[in-house]
Amino acid sequence: MKEKRILWADDEIELLQPHILFLQSKGYRIDTVTNGDDAISKSREIYYDIVLLDEMMTGKDGLTTLNEIKTIHPQLPVIMITKSEEESLMEDAIGHKIDDYLTKPVNPSQILSACKKLLDKKNITVERKSRQYPAEINRISSILMNPLDYQQWIDLYLKIVQWDVEFDEIEETQFRDILYDQRKECNVEFGKFLEKNYSNWVWGKSSSPVLSPDLVKKYIVPELKNGKKIIFMVIDCLRLDQWSILEQNFYQYFNIKKEYYYSILPTATPFSRNSIFSGLFPDDIEKKHPELWNSGTDDEGSLNKYEDILLEQNLKRNGVSLSKDLKYVKIMNNEDARAFMRNIDNHLDTQFLTVVLNFVDILAHSRSDLPILKEIAPDESAYRSLTKSWFEHSVIFDAIKRFSKEDVILFISTDHGSVRGMRGTKVIGDRETSTNLRYKFGRSLKVDQKNAIYVKDPREFRLPKINLNTTFIIAKEDYYFIYPTNYNKYLNYYKNSFQHGGASMEEVILPFLRLEGK
């Protein structure tokens, strides 16, 4: 490993020889100066890995020197060392972008620890993961040898998401490839688990996880009955791993309580989001709103135009009487978001505000159609990064920060996740068959049943009948449905695109967040 080079600026540097010798014994090369001007000059001549800077020096003081060094090398790590413990001085130093702060007297071990934290963090992290992850692989493999219940599947998926996000930070491709294979293995078993248990859950024949129709009744209705002011934000198509990186932006504004639930099948907006707002399974929605399904269309825009009505009826069934009328806002693009922000005071003038945000879903669909997006976000890690970048610069984040200042409870969730489709499987159906890639409904559907859940009777899964002899197929793992006509063309076109509607951990296991402003 390349020798690390440290510049140490202190007007009493001769008294620090024991510290310097100690650092040299640990493999660091140390250059010393006694004033700020020499420190600035040295930093122009030589690339240092880190600077140790005394705050009180003759001539230019530490803060002035720090500012000039950062102008030359903005990313150069600097540790400030001072005799003062005044809070204002510490705040000044932090404001000048120091990377660490030590108070005299310091011992050699303190200096070493601070340097290692800044210089060797990545190597230490990679080494620790190298020791930990093989044991985790074996543990997960052994867990999969036994039947898991729905809570154990949540715990297992949370662990996989945790590792996946941590690998983003250390850019470790070897581990990520192993993790991808293991997640694939988990989804094989998860598909079998859903196929075996889902019908019993939706018909109340066995203990079940919290499902889409339960969310409003379980979490929101009690707060409304207690007179609380509620904002319910549904971010369409948000995966748990995407939330895990967005969450970091919320800590300074909110106290967060996390729950997890299972989306109903198919994990697609017409089914899952209508179910959330109505508190009903799709077969019951069909009875109350047959107009949703009579056309047989699978256009998500037309099938989700009654969400506010479904939500109002859900509240009435649960005995909720709002102090002011429910407000419902759907945000489809940046102009909608800006309009929402311009009228935010008016939107907040209610006891219950519901916001549906479609950006992440649009991003997933656009990635299939725009080659440039596939290049920008070729995998899950890049897709998370793209989502994070959008959110941090969005008007929606500005609105959420405003919510943190209000006396409200903010609930954030999603209707379903998405999975990166990697394998096509042939499907045969007639002209009336729906067009979705991860699920289809129609008559006389034929597919390899190793790759899909075949629902011969929609009532078994509490799905709408739609037409006589309607059947459903729901893709497992990372498969997507392709017709035999022009098979290879569409196989390649949709490969590596983010899709939803199927039965994978990424689509089914979802976050439900309760946030209150700090």
What tens digit of pLDDT does each residue of 27-59 get? Answer: 899 999 999 999 999 999 998 999 999 988 888
For residue 87, pLDDT over 70 is answered with no
Nearest 5 degrees, angle CA 316-CA 238-CA 177? 150
Measured CA distances, 12 to 24, 109, 202, 364 (Å): 19, 19, 74, 59
Of the pLDDT bands very low, low, confident and very high (cuts 50, 70, 90), residue 368 is low
Mean pLDDT over 6-32 rounds to 92
d(CA 413, CA 425): 31
Strands across the sheet containing 452-455: 439-442, 471-475, 452-455
Per CATH, which fold does 212-419+507-517 belong to?
Alkaline Phosphatase, subunit A (3.40.720)
Measured CA distances, 219 to 259, 276, 440 (Å): 10, 12, 32
Fill in the DSSP letter of residue 149: -
Size (the chain), residues = 518
Using only C-alpha atoms, the chain has a radius of gyration, in whole angstroms, of 28
CB atoms within 10 A of CB 15: 9
Say how many Å lie between the first and final Cα of the chain, rounded: 45
Mean pLDDT over 7-26 rounds to 92
Higher pLDDT, 2 or 488: 488
Percent of the chain with pLDDT over 90: 61
Of the pLDDT bands very low, low, confident and very high (cuts 50, 70, 90), residue 434 is confident
What tens digit of pLDDT does each residue of 247-266 get? Answer: 999 999 999 999 999 999 99
Q: Identify the pLDDT of residue 295.
A: 45
Percent of the chain with pLDDT over 70: 90
For residue 326, pLDDT over 90 is answered with yes
Pair of tokens at residue 21:
């010798």
Q: Match 């993961």 to its residue by tokens.
A: 129
For residue 122, pLDDT over 70 is answered with no
For residue 95, pLDDT over 70 is answered with no
Give residues with Cβ within 8 angstroms of 77, minimum separation 6.
49, 50, 51, 99, 100, 118, 119
SS3 15: helix
CATH for 4-119 is 3.40.50.2300
H helices within 325-465, ranges in order?
334-342, 344-347, 359-369, 371-376, 380-392, 395-403
Q: Match 């939500």 to its residue by tokens.
A: 311
Pair of tokens at residue 345:
């005071």
d(CA 327, CA 342): 16
Q: Can you give the residue ranges of every domain in the chain?
A: 4-119, 127-202, 212-419+507-517
Q: Sign of torsion, CA 490 469 459 216? A: positive
Measured CA distances, 360 to 308, 388, 395, 450 (Å): 21, 10, 14, 30
Mean pLDDT over 109-136 rounds to 77
Long-range pairs, 385-391, Cβ under 8 A, ≥24: 385/168, 385/245, 387/242, 387/245, 387/246, 387/360, 387/363, 388/242, 388/245, 388/246, 390/359, 390/363, 391/246, 391/249
Kindly report which listed range (250-254, 418-422, 433-437) carries the lowest average pLDDT score. 433-437
Higher pLDDT, 288 or 185: 185
Pairing of strands 471-475, 439-442: antiparallel
d(CA 439, CA 266): 7
Give CA torsion, residues 312, 313, 316, 318, to 10 deg. Answer: -110
Of the pLDDT bands very low, low, confident and very high (cuts 50, 70, 90), residue 431 is confident
Amino acid identity at 495: K
Q: Identify the pLDDT of residue 297.
A: 46
- Report the candidate in 245, 250, 295 with the shortest Cα–Cα distance to residue 270: 295
Query: From its phi and psi, is residue 92 left (phi > 0), alpha (psi between -120 and 50) or beta?
Result: alpha
Pair of tokens at residue 183:
């997640």
Q: Identify the pLDDT of residue 360.
A: 77
Q: Identify the pLDDT of residue 94.
A: 59
* Whole-number average pLDDT of the chain: 88
Give residues with Cβ within 8 angstroms of 229, minimum separation 6.
350, 351, 352, 406, 407, 408, 409
